Structure 1
Amino acid sequence: MRPRKKTFFSIAFARNLTVSSRQNSKSNPKFPSSSPTPSPPGLNHLKRDHAKLLRSGEILDTIAAGKLISDIAFSGAANLGYARSLFAWIQSPLNTFMWNSLIRGYAHGDDPREAISLYRQMLANGYLPNNYTFPFILKACTRINDPRVGLGVHGTLIRHGFEDFDPFIQTSLVNFYASCGSIEVAQKLFDRSPQRDVTSWNALIKAYIGCCRFSDAIRVFRLMQDRSNARADEITMLGVVSACAHLGALDMGKWVHAYVDRSRMRLTRNLGTALINMYARCGEIESASFLFREMKDKDIRTWSVMIGGFALNGLANEALDLFSEMQSAGVKPDSVTLTGVLSACSHAGLVQEGMKLFDEMRDLFLVEPTIEHYGCVVDLLGRAGELEEALALIKRMSLKPDVMLWGALLVACRVHKNVEIGEMVAKEMLVLDSQNAGAHVFLSNVYAATGKWDLVEQVRSLMKEQKIRKPPGSSSIELDGVVHEFLSGDTSHPQSDQIYRMLNEIRRRAGLIGHRPATGGVPFDIDEEDKEVCITQHSEKLALAFGLLNTEEGTVIRIVKNLRICEDCHSVMQLVSEVFDRIVVVRDRNRFHHFKNGSCSCRNYW
């Protein structure tokens, strides 16, 4: 009987492991994709099993008791207390399998710290962890984001000789170090791994996305295609599509979509929604809308993403129409949906429609306004020049205003050149966040605009002392699947000489039709000619020049800017769309601008 019990234990252990932490197993050749992951048994069924074992006396058998603990722990976080009670009651010798079952349950449950507590008890009681223990405990360390605990676990598994033993441990280590922001360590561990399955590649892609290094995430995906036999799965695609959406890398996003079709990968609701979001955030709103209409299985997230996509691209009427269609289809809007609709109203200046929705959201949709909703309304009023009303709304709201909310009003003050309210708002922001670069820069700009250079110097000296830096303006453009990034005044690109010659040509042609650089926003005490040079070298203009140099006539030029596009760059883009007969699409921090035939989709309301 010994060998049979041992065999049963191994099978139970493997099942426990496979179901709990190998959700990627469909793409692993060891686990055929046709084998669905079994659902955990219900609580009533487990209680009946428990009663049978009690009546037969088999509860005293280590294997039977261990399997029951495992099944209970796997059945859901709400049942972990039941599994823990049974674990404490067991009179037969405990084993590592039982400890692992509980650690796994808590690692994936609501209280991952309890998994770490159990792990420490396990060691204190003389039980040795095995290669199945470490992925679970590292999962818990990743979730609590405590580097010290994870480093200690890493040291333990090195001492036990497990670091290079198991690909699942290596993947868990990559995830842990990535969650701590140590992406270089994660990359080194990945490079050392002798076995890289799809889970390992997904972990590294996810790691780069978590650190906002989206170009690196795409680079890793390309390496996965070129240098491994691992077949991408839905998790891979979700990560790469997300990276494309952030970068505005439309060509790469289209390739990924085609890859999904070629691979006959099922277009799940999650993947379809991610692709819609990618197309919308790349300015390809027609493709996003087409895919939305083609999708049969939509949920509230799918509708909300499409509404938000219309809003981002300045198509307020389309967003409102879809919002009405959604309600007619019986889909109840949630907080995210309403944020998208309010944002659409803000971008188009639909003040009455936006305020009506905001006033009715509690009664009609049973959604309590959040700080995000208030932010949209403040932005709505601020863009329309209703600065006093926006300020009054902030003062009477029940929620405590945060930096983002004040920031929405600060932007409006800058656009409408309201120095009095803007100065007050900037100081409120600095009370909440003394390191806020935007508030410091606003004050510096206000003082510069009124010629108070002594106050400008005070603000800048304070920023220097506190090492406060404004995020540098950067713009990216995709060419043949490669994303090229430019900073303001950048000369590092291999084509830098040609780019600056093209900038001079743009400047010359714009001047011929009466364009004069808008230098009022340059916050430096320098002469007018130097100010003109300064704004001529903004990052979006460099990206534009690069696009004109490297794409054929008629090709749409797509640029992604990390900050709000400035007044002069906006004017130049309009002129280029007319003079060079190009469509130029720019996504800045707030929205899309589609330039065509000398005009912009925002209608200069931005």
Structure 2
Amino acid sequence: MRSSIPAIRTAGANCTPTILSQKSRLSPSPATKLLKQTHAKLLRSGEIHDAVVAGKLISGIANSHPSNLPYALTFISHPCTPLNTFSWNSIIRGFAHSRSPEKSISVYGQMLAGGFPPNNYTYPFLLKASAHLDDRRIGLSLHATIIRRGLDGLDPFIQTSLISFHAVLVSVETAHQLFDESSQRDITSWNALIKGYAASGRHIKAIQMFHEMQDSGNVRGDEITMLTVVSACAHLGALEMGRWIHSYIDRNSLILTLNLRTALINMYSKCGEIDSAKTLFREMEEKDVRTWSVMIGGLALHGHAKEAFDLVEEMQRFEVLPDSVTITALLCACNHAGMVEQGRRIFSKMKEDYNIEPTIEHYGCIVALLGRAGRLEEAMGLIIRSSVKPDVVLWGSLLAACMVHKNTKMGEIVVKEILKLDPKNAGAHVFLSNLYAEFGKWDIVQKVRNSMKEQRIHKPPGLSLIEINGAVHEFLSGDSSHPQFSRIYMMLDEISKLVSLKGQNFPTGGVSFDINEEDKEVCLSQHSEKLAVAFGLISTSPGSVIRIIKNLRICRDCHAVMKMISEEFGRVIVVRDCNRFHHFGGGVCSCGDYW
């Protein structure tokens, strides 16, 4: 609450609670026993019949601990309890921050039925509850009520709550419009908008809004801001921007909390700077299980399986027990290193060793590990016998392995299971298309594609990101929209000539289109990561590292070309695809061609 509220103070065991001055602040004990003692004393003294005193007691109970909320509810059902809007707001607030936010809406209904008028403190809690409920209809109804009561645009707390609600559940554009109309833009409203863009996957825009906040000149970022933009940098692989954010934190003397340090470790790991992540990790005096897990996950992502296992042993020496996320990271490390037996042992012993029940994520990791190693029957058996209900992602892990090992028979079975769960799954339809194309059955391929068009099923396009001088550039496969596309395609031609001189040919068999071989080569040569690396070559100084983020798995052709470019141009090329990092240098890749 923004205004001072009278507080209740118990001076001793035999003292009657008294009302303090307006400048005092209620500091209720979370202990239910003490709250009930205070309640009993107020009943004996008769002060419970004072609406202000009763309101402060209800507030103390409702906001002390979620377990006390049922106790707080007894006051509004008791006919002798004098209630006011403050009392109702306290209970609404308590439920909004609990695991039962829907009860905030229910209490609000009782409040209106009882004739108590809501005020500007009521709606921020209700909007928060509706965001947690993932029900836009409730929030939109509340927004309409706020307008009808003339509270919109007047109260900054309501305005910020509306921005946050719309950014999360409705439209970040609408949230931005509300933000522009807001009369007071404080750090909370800026954070709501920045988080909204990040939550909707528009990470570049989130960072742009952070820069706009800096340009406004009167607002400085806080921990919430930094956590959001650092996470955005991690998603984008924007290392230069991430380093700038890190220096911004230092320059502005912001406290490097445990959460923020952990987020920075994650950022450096996801941006390909695993050594910087390790340095920051080693400098931390305090680490929780999440910090350890993030570092282990970063090592796994880069294929450093041995270091990941060493870190788990060190973690346990510090008496920090692995959790579910740690086990997922370890299984990923096994997957990227082809450590099948180690992964199987961890999976089979996780309940016994760590008292952790396998989740769908753990099953996904072990299925991917077995499938990548060619043990498809074992992976299929594991899914069938799993203690969790298989979902599209789990079946998708096996389908990816079927594609790698060209097991069409099992692939068809897996596709059927996926389509039962998700009839419009693009990956399953594409697999069928590729399967029939492999055997030259173009009439069936056309039927599959026509079905995809009719159902408006679209395969996610290949997208690659590259950061140059602090700006993130996006490339789609076959993209010609970049301002420097002429120079980019000239570089691609040069790369193609080098490939030919090396005696390598594009493996066009993997392109499932009924077109001639020359056109297939063009399709492969214009993959998004090739466009990104060509742009990197023309935009950076010789010898500098080129870093690329791709949304899909890098194909074999692009993988081979990246190795060649690293050798011919004397560059280190770091590519993060949807599975792992690939560090290309001197004609080889850190994955050892196992990915």
TM-score, with length taken from structure 2: 0.95
Is the Cα–Cα contact under 8 Å of residues 223 and 260 in structure 2 kept in the other structure? yes
Coordinate RMSD, CA, aligned: 1.8
Q: Which residue of 2 aligns with 1:230?
A: 219
Cα separation, 2, equivalents of 1:121 and 1:359: 52
1:134-149 pair list within 5 angstroms: 134-149=123-138
Paired residues, what number?
579
Displacement of 1:534 in angstroms is 0.6
Read off the aligned partner of 2:378 and give its amino acid letter: E
Q: Distance in 2 between matches of 1:148 and 1:61?
A: 38
Match of 1:11 in 2: 4
Please give the alpha-carbon distance, in whole angstroms, between the structure 2 residues aligned to 1:177 and 1:582: 45
Whether the 8 Å contact between 2:203 and 2:233 is mirrored in structure 1 is yes
Which residue matches 1:479?
A: 468
Matches within 5 A, 1:532-571: 532-571=521-560
SS of equivalent to 1:180: helix
Aligned residue in 1 for 2:284: 295
Q: Does residue 1:350 correspond to 2:343, yes or no?
A: no
Displacement after TM superposition at 1:84 (Å): 1.0
* From 477, 482, 497, the counterpart of 1:488: 477
Q: 2:15 maps to which residue?
A: none
The AA in structure 2 aligned to 1:11 is S
Q: After superposition, give the CA deviation of every residue in 1:192-250 in whole Å (9 maximum; x if it has no partner).
A: 11111100011001111111111111111010111141111000000001101111111
Task: Give SS of 1:102's match.
Answer: helix
d(CA) in 1 for partners of 2:3 and 2:85?
12
Q: Does 1:252 align with 2:241?
A: yes
SS in 1 for 2:151: coil
3-state SS in 1 of match to 2:575? strand
Deviation per residue, 1:259-314 (Å, 9 max, x gap): 11111111111111111111111111001111111111101100111111111111
Q: CA deviation at 1:362?
A: 1.2
Q: How does 1:92-491 map to 2 (within 5 A)?
A: 93-491=82-480
User: Is the deviation greater in 307-316 or in 124-133?
Assistant: 124-133
Within 5 A, what are the aligned runs for 1:590-601?
A: 590-601=579-590
Aligned to 1:602: 591
Letter in 1 for 2:434: N
Change (3 A) 1:604 1:14: farther
Aligned partner of residue 595 in structure 1, secondary structure: strand
Identify if the C-alpha distance between structure 1 residues 529 and 554 changes in structure 2 by more than 3 Å, giving closer, same or farther: same
> Which residue in the other structure is 1:582 paired with?
571
* Residue pair 1:300, 1:333 contacting (<8 A) in 2 also: yes
Moved more, 417-426 or 60-69: 417-426
Does structure 2 retain, via aligned residues, the 8 Å contact 1:463–1:469?
yes
Q: Distance in 1 between matches of 2:256 and 2:467?
A: 26
Letter in 2 for 1:324: E
Normalised by the size of structure 1, how large is the TM-score?
0.93
Deviates more, 1:325-334 or 1:343-352: 325-334
Tell me, which stretches of 5 or more residues in structure 1 are unaligned?
A: 1-7, 16-35
Cα distance per residue 1:430-462 (max 9 Å; x no partner): 111111100100110111111011111111111
Contact 2:5-2:26 at 8 Å conserved across structures: no
1:18 maps to none
Deviation, structure 1 residue 13: 7.5
Does the CA contact (< 8 Å) of 1:334 and 1:367 recur in 2? Answer: yes
Give the aligned partner of residue 14 of structure 2.
none
Which 10-residue stretch deviates more, 138-147 or 485-494?
138-147
Deviation at 1:88, TM superposition (A): 2.6
Q: CA contact under 8 A between 2:207 and 2:229: conserved in structure 1?
A: yes
Report how far residue 519 of structure 1 moved: 1.1
Query: Per-residue deviation at 1:132?
Result: 0.7
The alpha carbon displacement at 1:171 in A equals 0.8
Q: Distance in 1 between matches of 2:407 and 2:216?
A: 57
Partner AA of 2:4 in structure 1: I
Amino acid at match of 1:482: A
Measure, in 2, the Cα distance between the counterparts of 1:184 and 1:9.
29
Q: Distance in 2 between matches of 1:9 and 1:182?
A: 29
Helix, strand or coil for the counterpart of 1:485? strand
Match of 1:29 in 2: none
Mean Cα displacement is larger for which, 115-124 or 272-281? 115-124
SS of 1:11 mapped into structure 2: coil
1:56 aligns with 2:45: yes
Task: Report if the CA contact (8 A) 2:75-2:81 is conserved.
Answer: no
Q: Which moved more, 1:523-532 or 1:159-168?
A: 159-168
Which shifted more, 105-114 or 435-444? 105-114
Measure the CA separation in 2 of the matches of 1:127 and 1:447: 68
Tell me, in whole angstroms, the C-alpha distance in 2 between the residues paired with 1:386 and 1:13. Answer: 69
- 3-state SS of 2:225 partner: helix
Cα displacement string for residues 558-602 of structure 1 (whole angstroms, at most 9, x for unaligned residues): 100011111111111101100000000001111110101110010
Are 1:523 and 2:516 an aligned pair? no
